[in-house]
């Protein structure tokens, strides 16, 4: 049964559940990202792993730039490798089983970190191994959500991945401030070990969700694809085999998969010019790179250290403020991406973020923040306003685009390449930020301000508007030679005057389906027969039979 309706279209509760559960992959990523900033400042962690001039005196312990950079950034190297491995894994095992296996890898990494005693390299290697799982999940989750979600709410459901990233960061901050006063290693081991819980929730729970119908259709499991579609569309299992709209959608997926199966979908195919495949691969990689170059992780990885340097005594509290702004504004981001599409929010967001980073950098370089409390407060406000814009635009928008921009044949591999670009820049920024800060201090903000402007320009000239379209229609739009990125909002599938007309047509079909199902159920009850007694044959024959009958 449908849980609720969107524009008159029934949406199954399973569609919401699978999106939320799969988004635990984002929560794991966010939690791992958020915890390290505060862990680096915990006394026991510094005594064990930092370089101390007076053993036992925490005030004499400091991390070198190389050591802190490696502890923070090796997670990103792991995620980069994991993202590339995640593509063939998701194609071979299926989206669900791949995610379950990747959670197990993450848990192994956490255990290695928790059992570290005095060797910082062991802790760093544990983060590297955890990164393998996080990276593979970052490739599989948006793809699974986009392939399974109903088109009417695909943007919102895919954006929950970013929402859960921000939630994970906020939870990590809150747990860290609660454990920092614990004696001994419990202060940091507790924070790290709790990550196992999140991985178990996803790894076990995802096995109870339906597999991606597009993956099933591509592997000739057509009946299972119909059942998967039915569960997310709010159609009963009994009606899955006879519902003509479920049959039509499954047949469309199978037909599309058969066409693409005739061509090999290897890594090199991601860079072929046919059907703008290379164009989309490079675009996805560029967008993911610019998401990192916005400067968001400058605050998430090193925020506690940054705000200590502007005179904030309890930087843990400041981190929670930033995390809360990031999390709650992402709810607005889900609305923005659904209401205004993809292009406009990313362009406006790039300009907004650039402006506030300029304020942040200008304030920090104009006067010494430690000696001017008002400057420090202005910098915190600028950081919060930057996070507000990021959370509502670039943060959810790029992950949505990774799920809906690429063709089915190479979607997994293109998504992996795009995500790997994110992790590559994540590593570079995490590792080199301590060195850059020591060299140019808050002028670093000017670099990020310029990158945000560049990102907005790339979106305007190269990104096509993909909202309100099925994944198959998005592919048609990119391959239409008459469509340009700046005119793509007006593009509509063949036979329709506008995208709105296409949406109304699709909504009408869904309403007809809902009425049709109720009519057949009512007829079956009056006749005392089972609806599922109909044979499933050729699509056109079935539709004809039902039209004649009703």
3-state secondary structure of 468: coil
H-helix or E-strand containing 257?
helix 244-261
Predicted confidence (pLDDT) at residue 192 exceeds the cutoff of 90: yes
8 Å CB contact between 402 and 419: yes
| pLDDT value of residue 206 | 92
Closest CA to 72 of 35, 116, 102: 35
Is pLDDT larger for residue 31 or for residue 369? Answer: 31
Note every long-range contact of 309-314, with CB atoms under 8 Å and residues 24 or more positions apart, other chains counting: 309/369, 309/370, 310/364, 310/369, 310/370, 310/375, 310/376, 310/379, 310/380, 311/369, 311/370, 311/373, 311/376, 312/376, 312/380
Instruction: Name the token pair of 359.
Output: 């304020």
Alpha-carbon distances, residue 467 vs 79, 338, 401 (angstroms): 28, 7, 9
Q: For 394-452, write each residue's pLDDT tens digit.
A: 998 998 898 889 987 788 789 889 988 988 998 888 888 888 888 888 899 999 999 99
Work out the percent of the chain whose per-residue pLDDT is above 70: 84
Q: Tens digit of pLDDT for each residue in 411-420?
A: 878 988 998 8
CB 428 within 8 A of CB 332: no
Model pLDDT for residues 33-60, shown as the tens digit of each residue? 888 878 988 889 999 998 888 888 888 8
Q: Is the pLDDT of residue 1 over 50?
A: yes
- List Cβ neighbours of 252 (8 Å cut-off, separation of 6 or more): 472
- Could you tell me the CA-to-CA distances from 401 to 42, 230, 280 in Å, in that order? 38, 25, 10
Q: What pLDDT does 541 receive?
A: 41
Instruction: Please list, in sequence order, all residues whose beta carbon lies within 8 angstroms of the beta carbon of residue 520, skipping any fewer than 6 positions away.
Output: 239, 242, 531, 550
Contact 418, 398 (CB under 8 A): no
Classify domain 2-53+62-216+259-478 at the CATH topology level. Growth Hormone; Chain: A; (1.20.1250)
Write out pLDDT tens, residues 306-365. 666 555 666 667 778 878 888 899 889 888 988 899 999 999 999 999 999 999 999 888
Helix (H, G, I), strand (E, B) or coil at 11: strand
What is the DSSP pairing of strand 61-62 with strand 2-6? unpaired
At 169 the pLDDT is: 87
Interval 248-281: pLDDT, tens: 777 778 777 777 666 656 888 899 888 899 999 9
Mapped to the 3 state alphabet, what secondary structure does 41-87 carry? CCHHHHHHHCEECCCCCHHHEECCHHHHHHHHHHHHHHHHHHHHHHH
Q: Give residue limits of the domains in the chain.
A: 2-53+62-216+259-478
Assess contact for 383 and 315: CB atoms under 8 A: no
Residue 545: pLDDT over 60: no
- The number of CA neighbours under 13 Å toward the Cβ of 192 is 27
**DSSP reduced 3-state for 538:** coil
The reported pLDDT for the residue numbered 215 is 87
Q: Is there a contact between 169 and 328 (Cβ–Cβ < 8 Å)?
A: no
pLDDT of residue 18: 82
What pLDDT band is residue 535 in, cutting at 50, 70 and 90? Answer: very low
d(CA 548, CA 266) in angstroms, rounded, equals 46
Picking from 294, 216, 28, the residue whose alpha carbon sits closest to that of residue 138 is: 28
CA distance 25 to 105: 13
Average pLDDT value for residue range 102-109? 96
Nearest Cα neighbor of 409 from 279, 277, 285 is: 277
Element (H, E) at 30: helix 24-39
Q: What is the pLDDT of residue 17?
A: 83
Q: What is the pLDDT of residue 539?
A: 40
Residues 6+ apart with CB under 8 A from 210: 14, 18, 148, 227, 228, 231, 232
């Amino acid at each position: 049964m449908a849980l609720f309706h969107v524009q008159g279209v029934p949406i199954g509760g399973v569609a919401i559940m699978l999106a939320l559960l799969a988004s635990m992959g984002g929560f794991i990523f966010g939690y791992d990202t958020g915890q390290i900033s505060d862990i680096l400042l915990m006394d026991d962690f510094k005594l064990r792993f930092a370089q101390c001039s007076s053993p036992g005196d925490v005030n004499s312990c400091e991390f070198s730039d190389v050591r802190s950079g490696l502890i923070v950034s090796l997670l990103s190297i792991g995620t980069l490798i994991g993202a590339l491995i995640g593509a063939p894994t998701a194609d071979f095992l299926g989206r669900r089983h791949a995610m379950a296996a990747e959670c197990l890898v993450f848990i192994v990494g956490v255990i290695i970190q928790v059992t570290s005693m005095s060797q910082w390299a062991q802790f760093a290697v544990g983060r590297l191994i955890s990164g393998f799982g996080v990276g593979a999940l970052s490739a599989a989750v948006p793809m699974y959500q986009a392939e399974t979600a109903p088109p009417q709410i695909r943007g919102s459901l895919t954006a929950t991945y970013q929402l859960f990233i921000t939630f994970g960061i906020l939870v990590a901050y809150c747990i860290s401030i609660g454990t920092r006063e614990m004696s001994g290693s419990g202060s940091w081991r507790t924070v790290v070990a709790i990550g196992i819980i999140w991985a178990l929730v996803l790894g076990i729970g995802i096995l109870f969700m339906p597999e991606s119908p597009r993956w099933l259709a591509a592997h000739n499991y057509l009946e299972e694809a119909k059942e998967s579609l039915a569960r997310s569309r709010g159609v009963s299992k009994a009606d899955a085999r006879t519902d003509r709209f479920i049959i039509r959608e499954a047949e469309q997926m199978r037909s599309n998969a058969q066409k693409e199966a005739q061509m090999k979908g290897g890594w090199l195919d991601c860079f072929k010019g046919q059907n703008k495949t290379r164009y989309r691969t490079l675009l996805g990689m560029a967008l993911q790179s610019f998401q990192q170059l916005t400067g968001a992780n400058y605050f998430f990885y090193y925020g506690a250290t940054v705000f200590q340097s502007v005179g904030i005594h309890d930087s843990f509290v400041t981190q929670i403020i930033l995390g809360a702004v990031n999390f709650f504004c992402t709810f607005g981001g889900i609305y923005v991406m659904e209401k205004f599409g993809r292009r406009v929010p990313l362009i406006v967001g790039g300009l907004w973020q650039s402006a506030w980073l300029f304020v942040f950098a200008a304030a920090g370089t104009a006067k010494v923040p430690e000696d001017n409390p008002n400057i420090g407060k202005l910098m915190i406000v600028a950081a919060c306003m930057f996070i507000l814009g990021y959370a509502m635009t670039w943060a959810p928008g790029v992950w949505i685009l990774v799920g809906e921009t690429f063709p089915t044949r190479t979607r997994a591999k293109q998504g992996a390449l795009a995500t790997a670009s994110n992790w590559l820049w994540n590593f570079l920024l995490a590792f080199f930020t301590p060195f850059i800060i020591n060299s140019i201090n808050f002028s670093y903000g000017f670099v990020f301000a310029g990158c945000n402007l560049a990102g907005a320009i790339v979106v305007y000239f190269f990104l096509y508007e993909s909202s309100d379209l099925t994944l198959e229609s998005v592919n048609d739009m990119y391959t239409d030679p008459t469509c340009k990125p700046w005119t793509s909002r007006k593009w509509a599938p063949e036979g329709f005057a506008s995208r709105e007309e296409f949406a109304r047509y699709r909504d009408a079909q869904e309403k007809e389906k809902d009425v049709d199902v109720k009519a057949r159920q009512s007829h079956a009850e009056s006749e005392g027969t089972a609806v599922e007694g109909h044979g499933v044959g050729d699509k056109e024959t079935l539709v004809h039979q039902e039209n004649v009958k009703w």
